[in-house]
Structure 1
Amino acid sequence: MIEKIIFLIEEYSMEVTLTELLPKVITDIDFEIIRFQCKDDLLKQLQGRLRAYASWIPDNWRIVVLVDRDDDNCIRLKQQLENISAQAGLVSKTAAAPNAPFKIVNRIAIEELEAWFFGDWQAVKAAYPKVSVDIPKRAGFRDPDAIKGGTWEAMERVLKGVGYFKTGLRKAEFAREVSAKMDPQLNTSKSFQVFLEALV
């Protein structure tokens, strides 16, 4: 039985989102969120941080590394995370044999955190009632993980178009409002569901 999960993440709006979402998903597991300055900072410090954990982390604790894909090649980025984990001496879920124990799970939000919000449009609508209910049915929005040109930019355009965030999307504020209303089980983002199955 997992007792605690440590999340290593790249930015503040992700921390805000997880703080709201995790209690809905892992009700009986303690968690800690460690936020880095940015993705580059996380990747630069990751091996040292994981080596330190490898020296003392209890068997019933787990580490989850979560980064945005951004413009990176997803396969290369995942391999980079897997290599860092292995070099630090931690067996990942991907590298472990089926049903074998592992210590770390590497996950990627594709292409950015905001894809997860597109994946639960009911939550966005609940937080920002003026947005159109049919956004997920429109071409270009049907697959949250395949939205072109940046998901946060797309979200900003949708919200600005109906009068919200006229001076620009305030990502942490938006993340807090929407994630508080999200139902994790209903999310249509594939990368969100892959993240979710790492926790349960």
Structure 2
Amino acid sequence: MRHLVFLLEGPSEKEAIHAWLPMLLPDGVQAHFIVFEGKQDMERRLALKLRHWMLADSRFIVLRDQDSAACTDVKAALVACCKASGREAECVVRVACHELESFFLGDWQAVAQAFGMPRLADLDRKAVYRDPDRIALPAAELERHVPGYQKREGARRIAPHMDLQRNRSRSFLQLRDAITRMVAA
């Protein structure tokens, strides 16, 4: 595989993944990003984007937030889009439970570094944050601790500080492992 293509719900996901790729991609693998304008746009145009991708030796990772829907329903709808494109075998679908910010809540030390707020690193020890994927509104939780938190800027600031091995978000670990497996295959 020479091309790893990320099909993403929005620009925040691109900011985060772009920061993680130097730690995950070996030399010779080029990353590409297709960023949709939200989940409805993604579901409407995903199959078409996959079908018309022209670079040979490509694999695809589809990432979308779960939001308030059932994770299995979100994944099934995205897998159906991949099937409709005829490229299902080249695709991996991952769902961020509940939002991308769950990934950030899985590494409070990174949040503390990103915003110059050392006291936030102590939140890693709180029981409520041991399983960040269970927090229904992770962006609101971040805003509670980081006043004025904005999704895209938050992704841009937090992602470079994340320890990809330390993170507690299972949905993040599944994404990280999918990327690792794809580039190793």
When normalised by structure 1's length, the TM-score is 0.83
Structure-1 residue corresponding to 2:98:
111
Deviation at 1:83, TM superposition (A): 1.2
- Check if 1:127 corresponds to 2:114: yes
Structure-1 residue corresponding to 2:177:
197
How far apart, CA to CA, are the structure 1 residues paired with 2:65 and 2:150? 18
User: 1:176-187 alignment to 2 at 5 Å?
Assistant: 176-187=156-167
Give yes or no for contact 1:25–1:184 (8 Å, CA) kept in 2.
no
How far apart, CA to CA, are the structure 1 residues paired with 2:26 and 2:109? 23
Deviation at 1:57, TM superposition (A): 4.8
Structure-2 residue corresponding to 1:75:
72
For residue 18 of structure 2, give the secondary structure of its aligned residue in structure 1: helix
Deviation at 1:45, TM superposition (A): 0.7
Give yes or no for contact 1:65–1:106 (8 Å, CA) kept in 2.
yes
Unaligned runs of 5+ in 2: 181-185
Equivalent position amino acid for 1:90 in 2:
R
Unaligned runs of 5+ in 1: 92-101, 161-167
Deviation at 1:194, TM superposition (A): 0.5
Percent same amino acid among aligned pairs? 33
Deviations 1:148-198 (A, max 9, x none): 3x10001100113xxxxxxx3222222111111112122111001100111
Structure-2 residue corresponding to 1:151:
138
Deviation at 1:47, TM superposition (A): 1.7
Structure-2 residue corresponding to 1:4:
3
How far apart, CA to CA, are the structure 1 residues paired with 2:83 and 2:151? 33
Structure (1 or 2) with the larger CA radius of gyration: 1
Structure-1 residue corresponding to 2:183:
none
- Check if 1:49 corresponds to 2:58: no
Question: Could you say what the CA RMSD is over the residues aligned between the two structures, in angstroms?
Answer: 1.5
How far apart, CA to CA, are the structure 1 residues paired with 2:79 and 2:55? 18
Deviation at 1:139, TM superposition (A): 3.6
For residue 158 of structure 2, give the secondary structure of its aligned residue in structure 1: helix
Equivalent position amino acid for 1:192 in 2:
F
Structure-1 residue corresponding to 2:58:
61
Aligned length: 178
Deviation at 1:138, TM superposition (A): 2.1
Q: Report which of the two has the higher share of helix.
A: 2
Structure-1 residue corresponding to 2:20:
21
Equivalent position amino acid for 2:99 in 1:
E
Deviations 1:86-119 (A, max 9, x none): 121123xxxxxxxxxx311111111100011111
Structure-2 residue corresponding to 1:37:
37
Runs of 4+ in 1 over 6 A off after TM superposition: none
